[in-house]
Amino acid sequence: MAAPPQRRTWTANDYALRLDPQMLGFIDATNAHYPPDTIDASVMAQRAIYDRMCTAFRAVRPADVLVEDVLPPSSHPIPLRQYRRHDVVTQVAAVLYLHGGGLVVGGLDSHDDVCAEICARTGFRVTAADYRLLPEHSYADACDDALAALRWLLDESGVPVVVVGDSAGGLLAAMAVQAMRGEARQAAGQVLIYPGLGGADDLSSRIEHAEAPMLTRAEVKAYDALRGVTAPTPLGQPDFSGLPPTVVIPAECDPLCDDAVVYDDAIRQAGGRSVCLIQQGWVHGGLRARHAADVARRAFDVAVDAIEALGHGRWPY
């Protein structure tokens, strides 16, 4: 598995000079709602702060999207929220969305607008899963919930399913498709947005962007420790063959950037289809800037285009 080349560490001044004013404004606005020291607060306080931040940035749902909260009638019930465009009669594909938040914060409301906009733009039905969070539950519980949601959606929808996750949701998405590797039914593809995939702490981006805005190397290590440093991760798997078509969309200014680079390389080395589309000038958590910064808008366009292509069975890369 090839490792990215070593690069120098960025300083705070580098970000101030090299990120565009729109992204810098978004970072300042985020920090006003979610201060950088939030990770030191209690879990309940972190969730309250995160929820307030999500509310402050939440966009209005597109008017043509209908939303319904459901609970699968199965032996593994998981709260779900489904989005469908009212003018789409015949579904072509479905999307399972797994939210970010370090496996600690977030839920059905935190990424509600993102899911609604994916539905509006692709016409696909989108299902968001409210997986169990740490520390009340285990990392294994979260992985089990993601896998159960994927299996249920594959059974229930009857159409190709694209699995999408951002940040820790990308970790769960990759674990779910890995768990189904070799089975007769598979996801049509996976789209992972600035995912944390269990990369080594000495990867270049962990060092170069150790003090990146929005997510630092120390915060990554704290979340890794909470998950369990010996817990299975996508990059810790022995075999990357047989995975569905994969699009990884990391942010350049993110200590997790090279997790995506290494994962993409591992899939391609195993003979699979994968592409890594690094978004220059973007930061972790930058999905919320899609209506405020051109860099984030373009990154969201890249993600939506990937979801649409995989849902239709295309590989335009």
Beta-sheet pairing, 189-193 with 125-129: unpaired
> Rounded CA gap, 212 and 15, in Å?
8
Q: How far apart are CA 178 and CA 163, in angstroms?
A: 12
Q: Kindly report, residue by residue over 81-134, the tens digit of the pLDDT.
A: 999 999 998 999 999 999 999 999 999 999 999 999 999 999 999 999 999 999
- Residue 177 structural domain: 14-311
Q: Which single residue is written with the structure tokens 């915060």? A: 219
Does residue 5 fall inside a structural domain? no
C-alpha–C-alpha distance, residues 255 and 250, integer Å:
10
Amino acid 73: pLDDT: 80
Cα(304)–Cα(79) distance, integer angstroms: 24
Domain membership of residue 7 (yes or no) is: no
The C-alpha atoms of residue 130 and residue 107 are separated, in whole angstroms, by 5
For the annotated catalytic residues, the residue numbers are 167, 254, 284
Give yes or no for a contact between 18 and 27, defined as CB atoms under 8 angstroms apart: no
**Residue 253, strand partner residues:** 283
Number of H helices, E strands in the chain: 10, 10
Residue 7's pLDDT is: 62
Strands 125-129, 94-98: pairing is parallel
Q: What is the pLDDT of residue 27?
A: 98
Task: Encode burial over 58-90: b for 16+ CB neighbours within 10 A, e otherwise.
Answer: beebeeebebeeeebeeeeebbbbbbbbeeeee
Q: Is residue 191 part of a domain?
A: yes
- Name residues of the chain where pLDDT drops below 50: 4
Give me the CATH number covering residue 193. Answer: 3.40.50.1820
The answer as to whether 150 is a domain residue is: yes
Instruction: Answer whether the bond into residue 72 is a cis peptide, omega within 30°.
Output: no
Residue 210 lies in a domain: yes
What local confidence, expressed as pLDDT, does residue 238 receive?
96
For the chain, what is the domain count? 1
Structure tokens at 263: 């994962």
Q: What are phi and psi of 222, to 5 degrees?
A: -65, -45
DSSP helix/strand/coil, 310: helix
pLDDT attached to residue 251: 98
Residue 166 parent element (H or E):
strand 161-166
Look at residue 1 and tell me if it is in a domain.
no
Domain annotation covers residue 69: yes
b/e map of 95-126 (b: 16 or more CB within 10 Å)?
A: bbbbbbbbbbbbbbebbbbbbbbbbbbbbbbb
In a domain, 316, yes or no: no
Predicted TM-score (pTM) of the model is 0.96
Q: Give the model's pLDDT for residue 2.
A: 52
* φ, ψ for residue 98, nearest 5 deg: -115, 115
